[in-house]
Structure 1
Amino acid sequence: MRAGNPDAERGGSSTEGKRASRGSGRLPASLPACLARMLDIAATVTPDAGLEPTLERLLSLIAGLEPSGVSAVALRDGPALRRGALEEAGEPTAAQLFPRMAAQVEVPLPGPVEGRLVIAAPKFHNASEEAYRLLAMQAASVVTLVVRALEGEVGTWTPTTSGVPPDDGADLAQLHKLAGLGQNVSEIVHELSNPLTSILAYSDYLAQRLRQQGVGESDLERLERIHEAATRIQRFSRDLVHYSKPSLRKRERVNLHEIADRALRFCVHGLRSSDILVERRYGDIPEVDGVDTSLTQVFVNLITNAWHAMSEGGGVLRITTGQSEGWVVVEIADDGHGIDGEIAERIFEQYFTTKGPEEGAGLGLSIVRQTVIDHGGRIEARNREGGGATFVLSFPVPD
């Protein structure tokens, strides 16, 4: 522990917090505000609202982000709905919805609704192309949920184990709450940082004073435990901010061992409460090209699934890394109930879940799979001999 003046430590932290809050790594405020308004519309939509008018409202919000912006949703077997500066965009062709627009991002609609969402402009002025691509991916999820809520998508939704379609209204409301929370994580952590800094500083100060007075080791040990606990909270808070930031950065070399350790810190409470031991069998592996926040999400999802599989009887979570023929390989194995053969081929499908409606919407493993593919990798799941499941991630070794 470091000794020092507690009041000086506290004052320094406040200055750093204010400086950090003005950092340049955030999305332009208009983009998360647009998504929040889309979620407001989607979460309160009524069956008599009509699909096309609701989609037009969503598209108008997106198109309004740029001075000459346009946006469209093209559904399977149906016309494309377009909003924005349509005269400047030009007549749609078979190849492009907006042939005159130089800046465009296009993403597929996720889940059982087939189609695509496009955002375009002569030039993106208010945000980068990467930022608009991230917005398009999030907006596409909202569009999919709206289509499923208003049209029912009879015959195309993926059944749950209960045989009842997911509650889209509940999913939308939860998505709205999570979006608001994500926008405020930095502010929440900043509010925590000042009292945490005080706890760290004063516990350090008191420990030094008690040593000088010759008090018993047991009292010093208690103070050290307070300091260590506050340090863990501080580290977790910083990890949470890091994890919640939008993944707009270009890929860089990342250390998968550090990412796995960070993910374990997120899940440590659940693992301990379920009496689950963790074995790290880390091999000698190189760094890989990736976005660390996205890969952290992959590990958090897989570790959480393993925890849930062992929640009743406990067990061992094993994370093993190594190399094989030009690939960095990560295995995450549990002692749970394994993967039922009837669902093995479907576990990576969007909206497929064996959990109840209050436990998940069936998006976790589909997000994991897509993120791994986006990183040039591959993922497979198989049962372990003796029980349990193993998820194997493979990432290419950088040149």
Structure 2
Amino acid sequence: MGTGGAVDEALLRVLTPEVLAVLVRRGADFAAAEDAVQEALLEAFRSWPQDAPRDPKGWLVTVAWRRFLDAARAEAARRRREDLVEEQPAPGPVPGEDDSLQLYFLCAHPSLSPASAVALTLRAVGGLTTRQIARAYLVPEATMAQRISRAKRTVAGVRLDRAGDVSTVLRVLYLVFNEGYSGDVDLAAEAIRLTRQLAARIDHPEVSGLLALMLLHHARRAGRIGPDGGLVPLAEQDRSRWDTAAIAEGVAVLQAALARDRLGEFQAQAAIAALHADAPVAAETDWVQIVEWYDELAALTDSPVVRLNRAVAVGEADGARAGLAALAELDPALPRYTAASAYLHERAGELSVAAGLYAKAARQAGAAAERDHLVRQAARLNTLLHEGR
């Protein structure tokens, strides 16, 4: 940088987790380190427009470390922390290695609830402000601030001296991705950005599998919503609106992961998504191979939701009756069970039964877009039944 000018907010978002990781590695507990980094960021916004540093990361580390030292020394009653501070080396040059990978594991600590882990990840690793996170989740800023504060207190005493659980980190990132878009932050795009960062830091086929899955799902985003704002089912989407570059990247990432022969659930999910993306029209979808991948996924996860999706795929590959038989083996209380049953009964030609099930599924749906879609499906079949009298 070197000269004055506007503060590069995108650069600060990238540097924030790296600076936080340096402080934590030097011995600062997470909550105190995060507070110190936020103070350093405020100072950057004040001073950089007039006097931008040549080494932004080094500047932020130095200022944040000083803020941490000042706060720690002011707490004379907490002698143990003060002793720890005195034992730390002087800041000096910032090491070249990137240890922000550990932040992913800390923010996905098993003692945190999923909601808290997501919020802390977006704040500490993503560099988002509390206000941005609150807007994305459509909650008051004060509510999100309390959630983040509680999460910080929970992990305050956790030492980053052991390898973390990659699968937990991936689940947290997948939760972020599934929130999609709301407010002024595109959480799906943010999850992809963070997963790219993780993939650059850790050599693990499931990290690549999750990145591929996100890219393949995100590639269909433009086709999911119709001109009226309604949800468009996969089979009815305009595939010319899909992002072919994202699909190509997702497939390439997936193929490289599968070549390592260490199959995991995210790779299997991505393989299913790739088969959907590969079909130029819905009628050419390779449902037989999709069922085979669902078999692999069910063996890996033993998930009832996976078996529900498999039943629908069986209905496409082997006929609606086969799909209904597979569905009958599952608990009717499963989410979307009724909607799946409605679809398969429609495929079997039982329109009256299907219409009633669509209406029932609409009453059970949580999301407005899904509810509206199911209501339209019920209305469509009722119209057909009325016209056929």
TM interval, shorter chain, is: under 0.3
Structure holding more strand per residue: 1
Query: Structure 2-normalised TM-score?
Result: 0.26
Query: Structure 1-normalised TM-score?
Result: 0.25
Structure holding more helix per residue: 2
